[in-house]
Structure 1
Amino acid sequence: MIRAIISPSKYVQGSGILTNFKDYVDKLGNSFFVISDAWFFNQAVEKIEQGVQGSNIEVIFEKFNSECSRIEIDRLVELSNKNNCNVIVGIGGGKTLDIAKAVAYYAKMPVVIVPTIASTDAPCSSLSAIYTEKGVFSEYLVLSQSPNVVIVDTDIIAKAPVRFLAAGMGDALSTYFEVRACLRANGKTMAGYQTTKAAIALAELCYSVLLEDGVKAKISAERGVVTKALENIVEANIYLSGIGFESGGLAAAHAIHNGLTVLEEMNHISHGEKVAFATIVQLVLENSPMEEIEEVINFCLSVGLPTTLEDMGIKTIIEEDIMKAAVASCAEGNSMKNMPFRVVPEDVYAAILAADTLGKQFK
Structure 2
Amino acid sequence: MRAALLRGIDQLVVEEVPDYQVAEGEVLVRVRSCAICGSDIRIMHYGNPRVHFPQIVGHEIAGEVVEVGEGVKKFKPGDRVAIGADVPCGECYWCQNGMGTNCAINYAIGYQFPGGFAEYILLNKLTVIQGAVHHIPDSLSFDEAALAEPLACAINGLEMSSLGVGDTLGIIGAGPIGCMMIEMGRYMGATNIIVIQRSLSRLETAKQFGADHYFLSGDEHLIDKVMEVTHGEGIDVVMVACASPDAQELALELVRHRGRVNFFGGLPKGSRKISIDSNLIHYKECMLLGSHGSLPRHHHKALQVMEKGMVKASQYITHRFPLSEIHKAFEVAESHQGLKVVVNP
Please give the TM-score of this superposition, normalised by the length of structure 1. 0.26
The structure in which a higher percent of residues are helix is 1
Query: Which one has a larger percent strand, Structure 1 or Structure 2?
Result: 2
